[in-house]
Amino acid sequence: MFQALLLEKADAFSATVKAVDEASLPAGDVLVQVDYSTLNYKDGLAITQKGPVVRSWPMVAGIDGAGTVLESTHPAWKAGDAFVHNGWGVGENHWGCLAEKARLKGDWLVKLPSAFTARQAMAIGTAGYTAMLCVLALEDHGVTPDKGEILVTGATGGVGSVSIALLSRLGYNVVAATGKVTESQWLTHLGARSIIDRAELSASGKPFQKERWAGVVDAVGSHTLANALAQTRYGGVVAACGLAQGADLPATVMPFILRGVTLAGIDSVMAPLARRQRAWDRLARDLDPALLESLVEEVPLKDAIAKAGELMDGKVRGRVVVRIGD
């Protein structure tokens, strides 16, 4: 038996931390001990049942995990190896990592970089890994620090906060958009050079506006993304990775055909191994461990359900690390 955050939907939805029989674990070629997990926005949606994340019931929550391999029939993994897991539908249609044990596919796992402990890897988690994918998208499309301001939306969230830390360390002039003006000092500490109110972007705007941003990291979607596109400079790049405001995109083609703006979609769930490994290698190089620690709030597994509710209520800043063992 092992402890797990189990989501069930029989007569009614329930989320509880309870003992689960190891025989119930799904198929996979690697059995792991999870030392740390985390709470991402998608985890919050699943645990609070505020979004249609879970595709199969019952489900162990947790799209991220880090720890140690216990057993493996996969050629790339052996007992004792340290691993990181992000995405691949885990916590959605395959039992996840908010649990003491998980059975996963070896092809889904990444070697834990030597620069990180398991706890630090989960302080990064899918949110931080997604942030790095966004930064790589800007770089790969030629957005360099000399090109101008970079807008980061949803700045106090997981993706936003890590994006600010990464971009500022790489020399970019970062502008943070947030609805939490009380967090301005914290955002400046992370590296934002200026702060704007998210209200400047969150309402319906003109399809073609004054040029400002050389690049954008957007985790919000909807009107915020549409306005960011409308304000992006000629040849600029917008990395879109989230839908906190909505999945709609009330925009026109004007920024694309008149300014050559690129909208780069960022998928962290099914990204191939080479792209994942590149992102984690760069995180090991470019993310300040001390600054990372300032983003983190740690909770035990037993408190993860309550913390997921706070996350969905907008009461969490930065990253939540979930300690699995006591």
Q: Which domains does the chain have, with CATH numbers?
A: 2-112+295-323 (3.90.180.10), 126-265 (3.40.50.720)
Instruction: Say if CB 40 and CB 126 are below 8 A apart.
Output: yes
Q: How far apart are the first and last CA of the chain?
A: 16
CB atoms within 10 A of CB 199: 9
Q: Taking Cα atoms as reference points, which of 326, 290, 319, 313 lies closest to residue 40?
A: 319
Quick one: pLDDT at residue 314? 87
Quick one: pLDDT at residue 51? 85
Quick one: pLDDT at residue 182? 87
Q: Taking Cα atoms as reference points, which of 243, 244, 236 lies closest to residue 263?
A: 236
The answer for residues whose C-beta is within 8 angstroms of residue 12's C-beta and 6 or more apart is none
The pLDDT tens digits for 93-130 are 999 999 999 999 999 999 999 999 999 999 999 999 99
Quick one: pLDDT at residue 238? 98
What's the CA angle centered on 32, arms 31 and 34, to 5 degrees?
Answer: 150
Taking the alpha carbons of 158, 52, 3, 70 in that order, is the dihedral positive or negative?
A: negative
What's the rounded Cα separation, in Å, for the pair 51 and 92?
Answer: 11
The answer for residues whose C-beta is within 8 angstroms of residue 291's C-beta and 6 or more apart is 165, 169, 190, 191
Q: Taking Cα atoms as reference points, which of 200, 194, 188, 248 lies closest to residue 228?
A: 200
Cα→Cα distances 290→21, 120, 190, 286, Å: 39, 10, 11, 12
What's the CA angle centered on 307, arms 7 and 45, to 5 degrees?
Answer: 50
0.85 surpassed by pTM = yes
Query: What residues of the chain score a pLDDT lower than 70?
Result: none
The pLDDT tens digits for 211-263 are 999 999 999 999 999 999 999 999 999 999 999 999 999 999 999 999 999 99
**Helix intervals (H) in 196-272:** 199-202, 222-231, 254-259
Taking the alpha carbons of 179, 182, 184, 186 in that order, is the dihedral positive or negative?
A: negative
Instruction: Say if CB 164 and CB 195 are below 8 A apart.
Output: no
Instruction: Say if CB 152 and CB 217 are below 8 A apart.
Output: yes
